[in-house]
Amino acid sequence: MQKDIQIITINPNLKEKLLNYLPQLSGKKILIVGDVGLDEYIMGDVKRISPEAPVPVLDVAEEDLRLGLAANVAQNVQSLGGIPILVSVIGQDMGAERLTQLFQKSNVSTKYLVVDSSRPTTRKVRVMAKHHHIVRFDYELRKYLSSETEAKVVESIKLVIGDVDAVIVEDYAKGVVSDSLLKELVGLAKKNGKKILVDPHKTNRGDFYNGIDLLKPNFDEAMALSGISDEELKSRPNQVFEIAQALQKQTGAKELVITRGKDGMIIFSEQKVLQVPTYARQVFDVTGAGDTVIATLALALATGMTLIEACMLANYAAGVVVGHVGCVPCSLNELREYIQDPS
């Protein structure tokens, strides 16, 4: 693999090209398969310590509910003009009721959500003092689906995959994405000529995602997925290249996009190594930024944009959402305005 990184810079012509592509995102159908969840925020101020124990007391000013995990990917696809086809599993509980209400508000269809009453709907409750994250409570079952529930998920995928423009697998290791499900999905995607983009989870090895087209980990996930130890990497001068080579070999993915927070992202494709810098003007919260990136990538590639162009557009979209607190989708209007004036 080439050891030189080419840094991609923005110029007025390229900006204009990206802006001209935005209307083409409209109507693109993206199949999203993965774990969904409910993000709950309890927000207020801390002005005193409890007399009962040495802990802060939050004076609650506001509570908020938002779509999380693959549900956030779906609402990003929707807010950017696409049509999300979300296939996932929810429980039969309060979390599922609240999720369904949020889906309705976001115009995301719940038609292909499978209900499994034996599993809780994933909920993450975050306690915030202004922009400071104090603690998080998780309600979830990190266990693979039963064979019966997985069969229902596969049946839903079969019903829709022929009519979509691209497929996203959003793996948060809550149980929806298993080895058997992935093999079924990869086979169906290849049969129907659909590109699969994967947002992986670091607890798996790279070969877990064998057969996909594009892998989008962050740097820590990429390192864990590669199976290369920290000690091995310390002695190697080209760490990111070693990791990329390992992942492409394990997954067979021709394209690899490693996101690196404030350092933007690095693209590995066709023996080229390219870096796209970040376009974020300010960073309040990176929660959900990866969801925005993969949603934008899928829509952009579905329009016929090159991977470089798609990554540049995704970086602009990420720049929009990190300026908000929590999982907030990027709207098409915000994206257009941000490309025009990111300062």
Catalytic residues: 291
CA distance 31 to 9: 31
Cβ–Cβ < 8 Å for 8, 278:
no
Alpha helices in 169-217 (DSSP H): 179-192
What SS3 class is residue 289?
A: helix
Q: Which residue has the tokens 């690196």?
A: 260
Q: Which residue has the tokens 């369904």?
A: 100
Count the neighbouring beta carbons within 10 Å of the beta carbon of residue 52: 7
212: Cβ contacts below 8 Å, ≥ 6 apart:
169, 186, 196, 197, 198, 251, 252, 253
State the DSSP H helix or E strand holding residue 38, giving kind and residue range, or none if neither: strand 36-49
Name the β-bridge partners of 84: 30
What SS3 class is residue 320?
A: helix
